[in-house]
């Protein structure tokens, strides 16, 4: 273990939560080879985990299929109790889990800890939903027929998740899956497997039966493992959160066996400030929406549109707030801004900054890597004079870059906001009730924040439209994606 690593390795009150094996059928085991996981702030190695193969994945799928035979018959109350216990263990160990999330993802500890609590809330939500999720009695058109529906678990779910929320992207899916009575094979991102493994370890402690939750970690065999999950006839559903290009690839693969699918894909959120907005509130919202996770959340504001009458006031206050951010290691006290995940992300932020400046942008704050902090730190950056020729107005940066464009009319700004292929989240600030309704209806996105930059909570139906995907996670719709409706017609004649 490297010295650099030892400095940042968090002290855990439960060191056994840092698992270095994968979980198949209740057994913690290795694979033929393993891969290294690194701390994005330093690139020091945290440890190694198994590099699962297609054969390992087939085994995990088979045991999940076997476990489904009995798990599907657990009563809703029994599944509810399991989720409640799991949530409670997550709360008990939230400090340790937060440290693991922060270490492997890079986000500040406070954000990582918040993510763990969000996981517990997800399990609590689905624990409450399970016993209340029932079919319907339907009035038939025929007096001699009775119709009713039953909702049944879809079966084995393949779960593929990204690194930006190493814990909560899994919780949203596995919470709903277990509430419905499904079993799962989880493939976490290779950058952040430890959070997934720790959560699965606590699931076993909560009493989740062997084979219900399986975790396969992989790096060099990602394509094979993904292909197996998406094409195996034993898997009934694929749920994926990640980029739009990989989503399209997996959707194609899943079509071969007509699986039920839900896809939470990339965004490119517009953030609009109208002339009647409360500017201080808008700055607060912009900070929360743009810089959470160092700009690496799928619902991060990516394109700022500010009315010409309030542009200068907003820019001055936004620049001051950005200058107050404190970049550093996520586990260091006082850090409010971690690194980006890797060199590929650094390259993308750098490219978007250069491109914006080459297309007439004016640098206000930041603009450069913070190499003295580590290889993956980029200064929180603000650029004005934004325009539609810039790359950042066409694709998400997924990094700490905010570019502001001026606008002068509602029609113009809505047209620009809708000019991209994706539609996940959108935000706007106004005090005008009529405008608020009309703009909310006009924006082509799945989720809208009005006078707020923070929208995520478990009660909110989370998901996108257009090329941001489909399906809704959390909320009262969250179980629909993990169940099938069976209709029963009974003849009385």
Residues that bind ligand SSN (CB under 6 A): 164-165, 168, 297-299, 456
Minimum distance, C-beta of residue 433 to ligand NAD, in the bound complex (Å) = 29
Subset of residues 155 to 194 that bind ligand NAD, contact rule: CB under 6 A: 160-164, 169, 187, 189-190
Give whichever of 50 and 98 is closer to ligand SSN, judged by the CB atom. Answer: 98
Cβ(346)–Cβ(340) below 8 Å:
yes
Minimum distance, C-beta of residue 384 to ligand SSN, in the bound complex (Å) = 26
Give whichever of 88 and 456 is closer to ligand SSN, judged by the CB atom. Answer: 456
Kindly state the tokens that stand for 258: 């007509």
Which phi and psi (to 5°) does residue 433 adopt?
-65, -40
Minimum distance, C-beta of residue 53 to ligand SSN, in the bound complex (Å) = 29
Alpha carbons 330 and 470: distance in angstroms, whole number: 32
Residue 264 appears among annotated catalytic residues:
yes
Give whichever of 44 and 186 is closer to ligand SSN, judged by the CB atom. Answer: 186
Pairing of strands 422-423, 362-365: unpaired
| Among ligand NAD, ligand SSN, none, residue 189 binds (CB under 5-8 Å by kind) | ligand NAD
| Among ligand NAD, ligand SSN, none, residue 223 binds (CB under 5-8 Å by kind) | ligand NAD
| Among ligand SSN, ligand NAD, none, residue 424 binds (CB under 5-8 Å by kind) | ligand NAD
Region near ligand NAD per CB under 6 A, out of 32-40, 261-269, 363-371, 479-487? 261-269
| Active-site residue identified among 124, 264, 396, 473 | 264
**Which residue's structure tokens are 């290889």?**
375
Residue with smallest beta-carbon separation from ligand NAD = 226
Minimum distance, C-beta of residue 457 to ligand SSN, in the bound complex (Å) = 9
| Among ligand NAD, ligand SSN, none, residue 168 binds (CB under 5-8 Å by kind) | ligand SSN
| By CB under 6 A, residue 376 contacts ligand NAD | no
Cβ(483)–Cβ(152) below 8 Å:
yes
| Among ligand SSN, ligand NAD, none, residue 249 binds (CB under 5-8 Å by kind) | ligand NAD
Q: Which of 43, 95, 243, 257 binds ligand NAD (CB under 6 A)?
A: 243
Minimum distance, C-beta of residue 310 to ligand NAD, in the bound complex (Å) = 29
Q: Which of 241, 376, 397, 483 binds ligand NAD (CB under 6 A)?
A: 241
| Among ligand SSN, ligand NAD, none, residue 456 binds (CB under 5-8 Å by kind) | ligand SSN
Give the bridge partners for 401, in sequence order. 381
Minimum distance, C-beta of residue 428 to ligand NAD, in the bound complex (Å) = 20
Alpha carbons 283 and 411: distance in angstroms, whole number: 23
| By CB under 6 A, residue 285 contacts ligand NAD | no
Minimum distance, C-beta of residue 471 to ligand NAD, in the bound complex (Å) = 10
End-to-end CA distance of the chain: 76
Residues 6+ apart with CB under 8 A from 69: none
| Among ligand SSN, ligand NAD, none, residue 161 binds (CB under 5-8 Å by kind) | ligand NAD
| By CB under 6 A, residue 374 contacts ligand NAD | no
Task: Provide the binding-site residues for ligand NAD, judged by CB under 6 A.
Answer: 160-164, 169, 187, 189-190, 222-223, 226, 241-243, 246, 249-250, 264-267, 298, 396, 398, 424, 464, 468
What is the set of active-site residues? 264
């Amino acid at each position: 273990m490297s010295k650099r690593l030892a400095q940042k390795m968090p002290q855990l009150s439960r060191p056994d939560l840092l698992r270095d094996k994968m979980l198949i059928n209740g057994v913690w085991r290795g694979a033929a080879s393993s891969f290294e996981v690194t701390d994005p702030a330093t690139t020091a190695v945290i440890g190694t985990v198994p590099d699962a193969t297609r054969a390992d994945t087939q085994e995990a799928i088979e045991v999940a299929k076997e476990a489904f035979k009995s798990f599907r018959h657990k009563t809703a109350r029994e599944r509810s109790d399991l989720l409640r216990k799991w949530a409670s263990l997550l709360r008990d160990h939230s400090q340790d889990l937060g440290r693991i999330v922060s270490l492997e993802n890079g986000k500040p500890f406070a954000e990582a800890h918040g993510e763990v609590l969000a996981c517990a809330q997800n399990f609590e939500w689905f624990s409450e939903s399970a016993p209340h999720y029932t079919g319907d009695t339907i009035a038939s058109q025929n007096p001699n027929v009775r119709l009713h529906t039953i909702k049944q678990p879809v079966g084995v779910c393949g779960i593929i998740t990204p690194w930006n929320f190493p814990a909560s992207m899994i919780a949203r899916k596995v919470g709903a899956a277990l509430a419905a009575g499904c079993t799962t094979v989880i493939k976490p991102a290779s950058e952040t497997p430890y959070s997934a493994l720790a959560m699965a370890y606590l699931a076993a402690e909560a009493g989740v039966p062997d084979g219900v939750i399986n975790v396969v970690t992989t790096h060099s065999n990602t394509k094979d493992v993904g292909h197996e999950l998406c094409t195996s006839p034993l898997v009934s559903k694929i749920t994926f959160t990640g980029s739009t290009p990989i989503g399209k690839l997996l959707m194609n693969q899943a079509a071969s066996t007509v699986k039920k699918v839900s896809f939470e894909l990339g965004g490119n959120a517009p953030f609009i400030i109208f002339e009647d907005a409360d500017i201080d509130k808008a700055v607060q919202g912009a900070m929360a929406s743009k810089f959470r996770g160092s700009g690496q959340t799928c619902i991060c504001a990516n394109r700022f549109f500010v009315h010409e009458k309030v542009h200068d006031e907003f820019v001055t206050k936004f620049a001051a707030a950005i200058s107050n951010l404190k970049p550093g290691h996520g586990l260091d006290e006082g850090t409010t801004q971690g690194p980006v995940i890797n060199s590929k992300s650094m390259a993308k932020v750098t490219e978007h900054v250069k491109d914006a400046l080459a297309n007439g942008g004016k640098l206000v704050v930041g603009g450069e890597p913070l190499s003295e902090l580590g290889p993956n730190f980029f200064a929180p950056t603000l650029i004005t004079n934004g325009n539609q020729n810039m790359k950042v107005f066409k694709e998400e940066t997924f990094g700490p870059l905010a570019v502001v464009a001026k606008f002068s009319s509602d029609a113009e700004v809505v047209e620009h906001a809708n000019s991209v292929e994706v539609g996940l989240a959108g935000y706007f600030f106004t005090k005008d009730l009529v405008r608020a309704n009309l703009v909310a209806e006009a924006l082509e996105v799945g989720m809208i924040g009005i006078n707020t930059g923070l929208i995520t909570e478990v009660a909110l139906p989370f998901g996108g439209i257009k090329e941001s995907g489909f399906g809704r996670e959390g909320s009262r719709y969250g179980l629909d994606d993990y169940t099938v409706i069976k209709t029963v017609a009974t003849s009385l004649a």
